[in-house]
Amino acid sequence: MSKLTYAEALREAMAEEMERDKSVFIMGEDVGVFGGCFGVTGDLVERFGEDRVRDTPITETAIVGSAVGAAMTGSRPIAEIMFAGFLGVPMDEIFNQAAKMCYMTGGQAKVPMVLRAPNGAGIGAAAQHSERTEAWFVHVPGLKVVYPSTPADAKGLLKSAVRDDNPVIFFEHKILYNHKGEVPDDKDFTIPLGKADVKREGKDLTVVATGILVTYALEAAEKLAEEGIEIEVIDPRTLVPFDKETVLDSVEKTGKLIIASEETKRGSFTSEVSAVVAEEGLFLLEQPIKRICAPDAPVPFSSALEKVYIPGPEKIISAVKEMV
Amino acid sequence: MKESKDKMIQMLEDMMVIREFESTVQKHFAEGEIPGFVHLYLGEEAVAVGACNALEEKDYITSTHRGHGHLLARGGDVNKMMAEIFGKATGYNKGKGGSMHIADVSLGILGANGIVGAGLPIAAGSGITSQILDTGAVTLCFFGDGASNRGTFHEAINLASIWNLPVVFVCENNMYAISMPQYRSDGRKGQNIKDVSDRAVAYGISGVTVDGNDVMAVNEAVTEAVKKARNGGGPSLVECKTYRHRGHFEGDPTVYRSDEELEEWKKKDPISRFKNLLKDQELLDDAEYDELKEKVEARIKEAVDFSQNSPDPDPSEVTTDVYYGEGV
């Protein structure tokens, strides 16, 4: 085990996969000598050279489109899109090309690529640089969607994403980049896509949370425990495929469900989890589901507004108290 | 001479296969046997055949919504192609792709694409693999004049240029993006330059315009560009001026162009021109041509029989192949 930040864990995952498999390469804006906009690729260009850590121009469409072509011909590209809010630019390449190629060719073509995208608000970056776009991709058949909340999960899931034969949209929360945690050193450490993690066990209420909200839910759990309330915190880790069994099992135990995400509420991943639980576990619930999300508005710039906008631990605490 | 004669006869036959295949699709579409949209390659045969004959087995192509000709010129199986267009289980894509997405990935075909201009970045990516894995493969990217106005054209060619990728961008300028003329001195037009290849200079790559209805001219230009790409000389843009005999899709009333214009282009038909050239050079006589024609017609007829007698896909196939190698 090593104590690494989330960003370092991601870098280590990429380095290990590039050492293991010469078809793995990185491309994106400022991922080379600059080390990545958030420093995630760091010194990888010095270790692997400019051929395998490719600095691109500002060209999101060609980054994703060429990742598709590289993946179809035997490479395993890891492409970085600088902010999740920029994913609208190469949207055709994601949802019409990467996602549909296997199906449209009747299973002939494989597209093993990873698209990394820094997600989320909290750094005063305003509306276009603070987007949380995971729900757009959850909706698209053919894509896998991954969103780790800890350094260990970041490493294990990124390695699995690189090894997967399908396009994976890999979200990373900006605030988490500097969070530290124990990370296994084993070069074969991977976490399977489609397996949720129970981050904290509890009997009174289930909180399903993604990204930074996992951290906030765990903070809330600490405080609630002081008052004798034990909440269970589940991180799906991969939004597609979604491990609904772990969630339904927990709801069966607690009878109460909160779904927490930094997304804007309407049509979010929380909507999907709610629908799945309503369809398959309605009678496990003792009372209606609560969702904790950002309001249906773009992310505001002013710190005073952004603080109100982002759902923090206190919102989880008060929602839990209303329910138990 | 023997080798070049064989190659020329082969190219004539390849063009005749496309002509017969497309004419047959046209007929069965009109009869209601084929669902969806079909975009026929009639009139443009020299581009696919001239270009694909410049490639080696290990090379790749990206195709378009008007892609039957590309796949046939690359050696696609006519039975599996026709069955796909008929939506049958025995088709290349198990009936999940149809006319616009027909592809044989094992022949290095990186999808036929329903999104105009989507193939250009994919071709650039295939070029990246050639560099990273040092495969020596060249990728040939087919796209139309319409696609040359999309951002993908700019981004992909720029990327190919700065990274010196082994990609040949082949623009099939058939003069119209559905109803929008590529260029005219006045009136509606898609761009204000006569030749798409003029754009090459902006990317620091070579660009040429050739007669796209002259299969030898296409073959010569693309062969040179492929050789350059394979030898580390980077990408090129080859514009082939041609004309589609049919509308954009079957059912297009073609109100945007005149019958006179069509007749002028039919005089420059790539197949009759090449046949006459071969006859003039005494490389082909009428009897040999008739024999070739019979052979081609029989092949396509067999493909129709195969398709008509093939089963529909099983309903369980709706949700398979969403993810590679995973059932559902």
Cβ–Cβ gap B126/A64 under 8 Å: no
| Alpha-carbon separation of residue B185 from A81, A279, A282, B150, B188 (angstroms) | 41, 62, 67, 21, 9
Give the pLDDT score at B2. Answer: 62
Question: Is residue B246 scored above 70 in pLDDT?
Answer: yes
Q: Is residue B3 very low, low, confident or very high in pLDDT (cuts 50, 70, 90)?
A: low
Cβ–Cβ gap B96/A165 under 8 Å: no
Give the pLDDT score at B327. Answer: 58
Q: Is B1 on the interface with A (CB under 8 A)?
A: no
Interface of B with A in 138-177 (CB under 8 A): 139, 151-152, 155-156, 158-159, 162-163
Going by the DSSP 8-state scheme, the letter that residue B220 receives in this structure is H
A2-183 CATH fold: Rossmann fold (3.40.50)
The mean pLDDT of A188-217, rounded to a whole number, is: 98
CA distance B144 to B173: 5
Interface of B with A in 102-121 (CB under 8 A): 103-106, 110-111, 113-115, 118, 120-121
Q: For residue B201, count other CB atoms closer than 10 A to its CB.
A: 11
Going by the DSSP 8-state scheme, the letter that residue A35 receives in this structure is -
Write out chain B residues lying below 8 Å of A56, CB-based. 159
Domain limits for position B31: 2-310
Domain membership of residue B52 (yes or no) is yes
Cβ–Cβ under 8 Å, residues A6 and A172? yes
Cβ–Cβ gap B163/A54 under 8 Å: yes
Write out chain B residues lying below 8 Å of A112, CB-based. 324
- For residue A176, the distance in angstroms to the closest alpha carbon of chain B comes to 30
Domain membership of residue B323 (yes or no) is no
- For residue A204, the distance in angstroms to the closest alpha carbon of chain B comes to 35
Closest CA to B176 of B188, B159, B163, B160: B188
Domain membership of residue B125 (yes or no) is yes
Q: For residue B219, count other CB atoms closer than 10 A to its CB.
A: 21
CA distance B317 to B325: 14
Cβ–Cβ gap A22/B322 under 8 Å: no
Domain boundaries, chain A: 2-183, 197-323
Domain membership of residue B236 (yes or no) is yes
Closest CA to A148 of A230, A40, A57, A34: A40
Question: Given the DSSP bridges, would you call strands A205-209 and A257-264 parallel, antiparallel or unpaired?
Answer: parallel
Give the pLDDT score at A49. Answer: 98
The count of domains in chain B is 1
- For residue A268, the distance in angstroms to the closest alpha carbon of chain B comes to 22
Name the residue of chain A whose CA is nearest to B318's CA: A103
CA distance A229 to A236: 22
Closest CA to B118 of B51, B64, B48: B64
Residue owning tokens 């969607």? A145
CA distance A245 to B217: 62
Cβ–Cβ under 8 Å, residues B88 and B33? no
The mean pLDDT of A211-235, rounded to a whole number, is: 98
| B325: nearest CB among A68, A69, A165 | A165
Write out chain B residues lying below 8 Å of A108, CB-based. 92-93, 103-106
Give the pLDDT score at A134. Answer: 98
Q: Is residue B328 very low, low, confident or very high in pLDDT (cuts 50, 70, 90)?
A: very low
| Alpha-carbon separation of residue A156 from A88, A150, B317 (angstroms) | 27, 10, 33
| B323: nearest CB among A75, A106, A142 | A142
Domain membership of residue B316 (yes or no) is no
Write out chain A residues lying below 8 Å of B133, CB-based. 22-23, 74-75
Residues 6 or more apart whose CB falls under 8 angstroms from that of A115 comprise: A64, A67, A79, A80, A81, A87, A94, A98, A167, A168, A169, A170
CA distance B82 to B68: 10
State CA A304 to chain mean position distance: 26
Q: Which two tokens stand for residue A280?
A: 């398959």
Write out chain B residues lying below 8 Å of A57, CB-based. 158-159, 162
Question: Is residue A137 scored above 50 in pLDDT?
Answer: yes
The mean pLDDT of B234-257, rounded to a whole number, is: 96
Paired strand residues for B167: B139
Which CATH number describes the domain made up of A197-323?
3.40.50.920
Q: For residue B183, count other CB atoms closer than 10 A to its CB.
A: 15
Name the residue of chain B whose CA is nearest to A164's CA: B324
Name the residue of chain A whose CA is nearest to B106's CA: A108
Cβ–Cβ under 8 Å, residues A320 and A231? yes
Give the pLDDT score at A291. Answer: 98
Residue owning tokens 């396509």? B300
The mean pLDDT of A293-308, rounded to a whole number, is: 98
Write out chain A residues lying below 8 Å of B127, CB-based. 66, 69
Write out chain A residues lying below 8 Å of B95, CB-based. 106
| Alpha-carbon separation of residue B92 from A114, B57, B100, B115 (angstroms) | 27, 19, 12, 20
pTM score above 0.95 = yes
| A68: nearest CB among B122, B139, B325 | B122
Interface of B with A in 66-105 (CB under 8 A): 91-97, 101, 103-105
Give per-residue pLDDT as tens, B106-115.
999 999 999 9
Cβ–Cβ gap B93/A108 under 8 Å: yes
Give per-residue pLDDT as tens, B79-93.
999 999 999 999 999
> How many contacts, defined by CB atoms under 8 Å, are there between A and B?
165
Give the pLDDT score at B325. Answer: 87
Half-sphere exposure (Cβ direction) of A210: Cα atoms closer than 13 Å = 35
> Could you tell me the CATH number of the domain that includes residue B52?
3.40.50.970
Cβ–Cβ under 8 Å, residues A152 and A9? yes
Domain membership of residue B315 (yes or no) is no
| Residues of A annotated catalytic, as ranges | 129
Domain membership of residue B317 (yes or no) is no
Give the pLDDT score at B326. Answer: 77
- For residue B2, the distance in angstroms to the closest alpha carbon of chain A comes to 35
CA distance B65 to A54: 31
Paired strand residues for B171: B143, B239
Domain membership of residue B327 (yes or no) is no
Amino acid at B119: G
Give the pLDDT score at B18. Answer: 98
| Alpha-carbon separation of residue B219 from B52, B225, B287 (angstroms) | 8, 10, 26
